[in-house]
Amino acid sequence: MKDLFRGELVRFTSEEPETRAKAEVRWQRDTEFHRLADGDPAQLSSEKKIKEWFEKQAEGFQPKRYSFCVRTLAEDKYIGFLGLWVDLIHSEAWVGLGIGEREFWSKGYGTDMMKLCLQYAFTELCVERVSLGLHEYNPRALRSYEKCGFRLEGRTRKDGMREGRRNDTLWMGILREEWLQMQDGGHK
Amino acid sequence: MFDIQTQLFEGQDIRFGPIDHEKDPEIEAKWTHDSEFMRLMETSPARPMSAAMIKKQYEKLEKQIEEDKNLYHFMIRVKADDRFIGKASIYWIEWANGNGNIRLGIGAAEDRRKGYGTQALGMLLRFAFAELNLFRVTANVPEYNEGAIALLQKFGFMQEVCRRRSLERDGRRWDLYVFGLLNDEWRNRVRA
């Protein structure tokens, strides 16, 4: 069986609330990082509050929420996170990811994270579909997700506003059979 | 065209009103026993509900409106006899982006196809664009809800996204459409 938690560049881990809070406090101060990952106004939270939030998350298992921390294989450095929200009724998972450490942008780490995520979603969670949304001003993410097999399914027009300019949100999805086909192709 | 004096909550045959905690739960409980209605309104599993359960939902809803401040909810009533026939709401409002989601339903089968839904959507859009000053509104509709799709298209909504095979019902998978309408698109239509 394949290793679910180990890709070519990164591995999935679960870091302690304290470690996560310390990193989060640094990452949330990076406006560009926030705006690439999120559509809400940027906010600064205390280390204490963030730690309490992660502690609460650690309390119980929720069958609809899967959250991973990401470490590089080469340096064993904690660089980001990936989360899945599963709709158990309709067998669909939504994914969101972020790389807080800027020196690891544009080097294939995000693509490796997403490939691991799809393997987990389709072989462990066994969902029929994985979905995501991204901002149109994030072409790097678009290319990465396309590489992983996601298809662009449309755009909600001008539903974001940054720096006085309206922008679209792009919506992507990949079906189980599309992913399985890509895996077969890889073995040929 | 509308002006400051035009009533927001009064339509031709219907009006928007607040929840009546005494009378409404029993009526809405009846609607939930119609699985077709529930499947058109919700993507969560349909289940029949008692008046007591609906009552609790109303209390939760009013608490949420007060706390979250990103939700507006209206009961649709027939003007002639004040009868409760449906619900309309704007939810998940993102104030910084000027974006909100809408939903609308006429509960009883005998009240459908009488133009109440059209009037209610007209009033809801005016509230969204001329009172909340939203930049755009969004509506999510499963591909099998042909009535809703026709209604949205009548008001100029554009189908923006097709989320392929996102829902599972009756042993098969269905697409989910996302529709959008911008404030200036709405304004140009009501002016015309």
Whether B31 is covered by a domain: the verdict is: yes
Residue A139 lies in a domain: yes
Q: What is the biggest distance separating any 2 CA atoms in chain A, rounded to whole angstroms?
A: 51
Number of C-beta neighbours around residue A163 at 10 A = 7
Least CB–CB distance from B161: residue in A41, A153, A166: A153
Angle (deg, nearest 10), helices A17-27 and A47-59: 140
Domain CATH code at residue A114? 3.40.630.30
Q: Is residue B64 part of a domain?
A: yes
Chain A to chain B Cβ contacts (< 8 Å)? 72
Q: How confident is the model at residue B4 (pLDDT cuts 50, 70, 90)?
A: confident
Contact B45 A157 (CB under 8 A): no
Mutant choice from A92, A131, A179 vs B, greatest count of B C-beta within 10 A: A92
Examine the pLDDT at A187 and tell me if it is beyond 60. Answer: no
What's the CA gap between A73 and A40, in Å, rounded?
32
User: For position B153, what pLDDT does the model report?
Assistant: 98
- What's the total number of domains in chain A? 1
User: Residue B163 domain-assigned?
Assistant: no
Q: Does A183 map to a domain?
A: yes
Residue B15 to residue B27: CA distance in whole angstroms: 17
CATH number of the domain where residue B31 is located: 3.40.630.30
Residue type at B162? C
Give residue-wise pLDDT tens across range A34-62.
Answer: 999 999 999 999 999 999 999 998 888 88
* % of chain A residues with pLDDT over 70: 98
**Predicted TM-score (pTM) of this structure:** 0.95
- Chain B residue with CA closest to A164: the answer is B97
pLDDT (tens digit per residue) in A131-183: 999 999 999 999 999 999 999 999 999 999 999 999 999 999 999 999 999 99
Question: Residue B163 and residue A39: Cβ atoms within 8 Å?
Answer: no
Which of B97, B167, B183, B185 should one mutate to test binding to chain A, selecting the residue with the greatest count of A CBs within 10 A?
A: B97
A3 inside domain: no
Total domains in the fold of chain B: 1
Q: Which residue has the tokens 């404030």?
A: B183
A92 contacts in chain B (CB < 8 Å): 166
Whether A4 is in a domain gets the answer no
Q: Nearest CA of chain B to the CA of A16: how many Å?
A: 30
The whole domain housing A71 covers: 10-187
Is residue B133 within 8 angstroms of chain A, CB to CB? no
Residue B182 sits at the chain A interface (C-beta within 8 Å)? yes
Say yes or no to pLDDT of B191 above 70. yes
Instruction: Report CB contact under 8 Å: B166, A173.
Output: yes
In a domain, residue B86? The reply is yes
Q: What is the mean pLDDT of chain A?
A: 96
| Domain extent for B120 | 14-135
Query: Inter-chain contact A89–B163, Cβ cutoff 8 Å?
Result: no
Q: How far is B113 from chain A (nearest CA, A)?
A: 29
C-alpha dist (Å) from residue B104 to B50, B90, B165: 21, 9, 23
Could you count the other beta carbons within 10 Å of the beta carbon of residue B84? 22
Q: Report DSSP state, residue A83.
A: E
- A1 in a structural domain: no
Question: Exposed, middle or buried by CB within 10 Å (0-12, 13-18, 19+), for A53?
Answer: middle
Query: Residues B51, B52, B57, B59: is their CA dihedral positive or negative?
Result: positive
